[in-house]
Amino acid sequence: MPDTTEAQPPSLPEGPPEVVDAVADALLPGIEKSMSLRETVRKGGVAILALAVPLVMMEQLVRDATTTLAPDIQRTFQLEDWALIAVLGFSGVALTVGGPFAAFLADRTRRRFLVFAFAAMGTLALIGAFFSTEVWQIFVCLTLTGLAGAYSNPVFGSLIAEAYPAEGRGRVYSFHAMATPLGQLIGPTLAGSLAALAGAGTDSWRYAYLGLALPYAILAVSSLIFLKEPPRGGAAYAAATGASQTWEKPIGFFAAFRRMVKIRTYLFLCMGIGSLGLALYAVPIQMSLLFEGEYQLDALQRGLVFSLTQVPVIAAMIVGGRLFDRLFRVDPARTMYLAFAGIVGFGVLIVAGIWVQPLPLLIAVYVLAMVFNGLTLVSVSAIIASVTPPRFMAQAFAVMTLFTFLMGGFFGAVFSGVISESFGFRVALAIAVGVSAVVAGIFYLLGSRHHTADAARVADEIAADAAAFATTKEKA
């Protein structure tokens, strides 16, 4: 293979000058200065960002409410640690399996209908959790809450890529990513508060789910009314041709996957985020069990800890989004180094700091580790958008979710649960985070060698399609 570490900007295909210039200005690093968030949103519209953030926040809120309420659910249904983690973790499998199907639909129908349908499913699943009396019932309802979030990455990932200019897209993706810690900020405290206010003893956790169903329903209806569809193919196509890009037949999932694995940056990114998933989903559950088992924190107290942890994470993501845009315009590979630094900081702090005994110090280490983790996650979606052709953008986000949840999330969570049964929560966390951070860091470094060349190939493909479109239009 040719050396891609010193790839030059692409030689765009010949065509109408306005087509080539529009694509170059929109995609190539070093052409334009980064765009402010206000200007980016003005060009792309408010509706997508205004709905993406609260909906993703709601999905994360439900997941973190479940994490906070996990010990209470465990007592109600008399589950062992490994069984509890399997029940809670399978929602991630449902999210993963549903992702490719949601991407398939996103390429073939209006995406606001998908958002409404999946959000409505989440609402009904929360109501079902309230009425669950058997293990299989709570298992099905929690699985459906995971499936309800399957649309999120493929639909909103592609919507943001298509609606907003590349010069400021990293900041929009940072707000989209920030919705996750916002949900983590609100969810645990809200769930703990609702459970405490219910005053229903061991069944108090049920009322937390019932209370969360109302805002979920409101967001579902709002998406049906207000969500707008950007031009298919994105801003680059629209700028070059004045119209949406259309294809005779949307590309199938397996055909798209065969092309995606040839994009080295994307492949290494997915392998890295999949490896990191071993830590991302084991850490919150194990920390919740640790706080309850060793420090006797109740649901409300655990919720406050997990909520306050997210305040500095949100600030780090805002800074990370601005830094991403600036680094990308200079050298795309530097954005991978930013993510690598976050992985190293997260891994070192958890592995070394999990052994401290005083609760305030343990919480401080956990907070700082999650700040580094936020720097890593804020760059993932923007990197995918920069190296993936619009033709299979939705599938690319779905596959990324597949790697994250299935490769790391579910199996990693169950693995850490088995370790915790025999050796305790701290050993489980040290092993899960240590292994995942090392492997993920290696994959990110490998991916950084190919980022510039892969971004150049995307510009080549878009320019070729747009030039062909313009030529066909001239002949007509």
> Could you tell me how many helices (H) and strands (E) the chain has, helices first?
21, 0
Q: Report DSSP letters for 403-469, one per residue.
A: IIIIIIIIHHHHHHHHHHHHH-HHHHHHHHHHHHHHHHHHHHHHHHTTHHHHHHHHHHHHHHHHHHH
Report how far residue 38's alpha carbon sits from residue 40's, in angstroms, rounded to the nearest whole number: 5
Sole residue written with tokens 């951070």: 437
- Record the tokens describing residue 272, joined without a space: 């890295």
Task: Give me the pLDDT at residue 475, please.
Answer: 62
Structure tokens at 21: 């210039």
Reading the block at residue 114, the tokens are 């998908």
How far is the first Cα of the chain from the last one, in angstroms, to the nearest whole number?
Answer: 41
User: Distance (Å, rounded) from C-alpha 311 to C-alpha 181?
Assistant: 8
C-alpha–C-alpha distance, residues 77 and 71, integer Å: 10
Give residues with Cβ within 8 angstroms of 249, minimum separation 6.
none
Binned average pLDDT, 10 residues per bin, the chain of 476 residues: 41 43 47 69 86 90 83 83 77 81 86 93 93 88 91 89 79 84 79 78 83 93 88 60 54 82 88 75 75 80 78 84 77 80 86 85 87 82 82 85 68 66 74 81 87 79 67 61
How many Å apart are CA 428 and CA 415, to the nearest integer? 8
Residues with Cβ within 8 Å of 364's Cβ and at least 6 positions away in sequence, in order, are none
Residue 382: exposed, middle, or buried by beta-carbon count in 10 A (0-12, 13-18, 19+)? buried
How far CA 423 is from CA of 18, 296, 325, 417, in Å, comes to 64, 19, 44, 10
Six-digit token string for 221: 């209806």
d(CA 189, CA 178): 18
Q: Residue 402: what pLDDT?
A: 77
Rounded Cα gap, residues 72 and 200, in angstroms: 12
- Report pLDDT for 16: 43
Tell me which residue of 27, 323, 77 sits closest to 205, measured CA to CA: 77
Q: At what angle do helices 111-131 and 152-163 cross, to 10 degrees?
A: 150
Domains and CATH numbers, the chain: 17-475 (1.20.1250.20)
| Token couple for 220 | 């579902």
pTM of the model: 0.75
Separation between Cα atoms, residue 173 and residue 321, nearest integer Å = 7
Alpha carbon 449 to its chain centroid, in Å, reads 23
Helices 380-387 and 299-330, interaxial angle, to 10°?
40
Q: What's the pLDDT at 113?
A: 92
343 token code pair: 């992985």
Q: What is the sign of the dihedral through the CA atoms of 357, 363, 367 and 370?
A: positive
Rounded Cα–Cα distance for residues 325 and 338 (Å) = 12
